[in-house]
Amino acid sequence: MGKSPTVFPADDFDEESDARALKEAFKGFGTDEDIVIEILAKRSNEQRRKIASTFKTMYGKDLIKELKSELRGNFEDVMIALMTDPIEYQAKQLHHAISGLGTDEATIVEILGIHDNESVVGIANAYEGLYQTSLEADIKGDTTGHLKRLLVSLANGNRDESDEVNEEAARKDAQALLQAGELLFAGTDESVFNMVLCQRNRPQLRRVFHEYEEITGHSIENAVENEFSGNIRDSMLQLIHCVRDPIDFLATRLHDSMAGIGTDDRTLIRIIVGRSEIDLGEIKEVYNGKYGKTLAERIEQDASGDYKKTLITIVE
């Protein structure tokens, strides 16, 4: 994934001046939201955290607490997301996905599938620091069976990260997946799917998918749809999509967060803020090509007020 951020560190950055302007924006009744957006949506995460530190030194107040007391709803949520350390933010998102009503497997697969090993380990460490329990223990406590094993494997951050592609090994893996699924007389040996999907490097996996199609005449997705059902099927399909094309995967996640009745604001905020300094530029392009409208146009239809203004500022 190439670097294509939409948010860059501000030139001529002056944390004291930004801290003063924010303090001024909070004065009196109500808040000058435009100033808050203009500053926080146009600084890098590192710069925002410097502003918070300077704000505390200058005024003896916690900027995040000030934002929480001044702002409301989705606007508050997107601003707090912007202010939070990226790894800690993902850990908090995982905790919500696990501890909320039911388990949000799609979010767990998204976060663990899109990040590299170092980030996954960092997120797991942050999780333990925040909640005094390990990410693995919480996943085990909240899920069962095949799904539990898949998510625990992802949470360990043990994927091969070389970019080496071995065609012979890919053919063997494709054969092993075939033997464990479609050719198995009774049921499916999901452990083989789990091992291949969670351990092989991404280019190697794409080769495995290609070999599988060469052997069987249909896609690996087709096999998963036939061999699995329910949450484990959906999670595997998501993971395969994420491996095949992470940018397309995230563009699809953004589309789905705004499709149908209501909006999944948590996913919308997480991807837009989380990828804004990484590859949101590329995600935007793919979104536009895939759905025939720009991401900003879709947000314009779906969100409102200062929340909408903030998202569009980040995206554009």
Are 230 and 194 found together in one domain? Answer: yes
The answer as to whether 251 is a domain residue is yes
The answer as to whether 77 is a domain residue is no
User: Under the phi-then-psi rule, with left for phi > 0, alpha for psi from -120 to 50, and beta for the rest, what region is 259?
Assistant: beta
For the chain, give the percent of residues with pLDDT over 70.
Answer: 98
Of 123, 155, 187, the position where a domain reaches its end is: 155
pLDDT, one tens digit per residue, over 38-48 is 999 999 999 99
Are 232 and 177 found together in one domain? Answer: yes
pTM of this prediction? 0.95
The answer as to whether 282 is a domain residue is yes
Give the total number of structural domains in the chain: 4
- Mean pLDDT along residues 24-46: 93
Residue 285 pLDDT > 90, yes or no? yes
CA-nearest of 273, 269, 275, 246 to 257 is 269
Q: What is the residue range of 278's domain?
A: 247-315
Residue 214 pLDDT > 70, yes or no? yes
Are 221 and 265 found together in one domain? Answer: no
The answer as to whether 274 is a domain residue is yes
Are 195 and 262 found together in one domain? Answer: no
CB neighbours of 112 closer than 8 A, spacing ≥ 6?
94, 120, 123, 151, 154, 155, 157
Of 42, 71, 100, the position where a domain reaches its end is: 71
With beta carbons less than 8 A apart as the criterion, state whether 197 and 243 touch: yes
CATH number reported for the structural domain that contains residue 59 in this entry: 1.10.220.10
Lowest mean pLDDT among 40-44, 101-105, 109-113, 166-170: 101-105
pLDDT, one tens digit per residue, over 221-272 is 999 999 899 999 999 999 999 999 999 999 999 999 999 888 999 999 999 9
Q: Which two tokens stand for residue 137?
A: 């223990």
The answer as to whether 160 is a domain residue is no
User: 3-state DSSP call for residue 31?
Assistant: coil
C-alpha 174/C-alpha 127 separation (Å) is: 35
Q: Which two tokens stand for residue 84?
A: 């939070």
With beta carbons less than 8 A apart as the criterion, state whether 198 and 159 touch: yes
Torsion of CA 113, 5, 42, 289, to 10 degrees: -90
CB neighbours of 54 closer than 8 A, spacing ≥ 6?
15, 16, 18, 19
CB neighbours of 262 closer than 8 A, spacing ≥ 6?
none
pLDDT, one tens digit per residue, over 113-143 is 999 999 999 999 999 999 999 999 999 999 9
Residue 187 pLDDT > 90, yes or no? no
Per-residue pLDDT, 216: 94
Are 266 and 306 found together in one domain? Answer: yes
**Per-residue confidence band for 186, with pLDDT thresholds at 50, 70 and 90:** low
Are 238 and 261 found together in one domain? Answer: no
The answer as to whether 78 is a domain residue is no
Are 50 and 91 found together in one domain? Answer: no
The answer as to whether 310 is a domain residue is yes
How many CB atoms neighbour CB 174 within 10 A? Answer: 22
Are 236 and 301 found together in one domain? Answer: no
Per-residue pLDDT, 300: 96
C-alpha 243/C-alpha 5 separation (Å) is: 21
pLDDT, one tens digit per residue, over 64-90 is 999 999 999 999 999 999 999 999 999
- Mean pLDDT along residues 149-178: 96
Per-residue pLDDT, 183: 77
Of 71, 105, 135, the position where a domain reaches its end is: 71
Per-residue pLDDT, 189: 83
The answer as to whether 142 is a domain residue is yes
Are 238 and 172 found together in one domain? Answer: yes
C-alpha 120/C-alpha 111 separation (Å) is: 8
Residue 1 pLDDT > 70, yes or no? no
CB neighbours of 34 closer than 8 A, spacing ≥ 6?
309
Q: Which two tokens stand for residue 73?
A: 């709803």
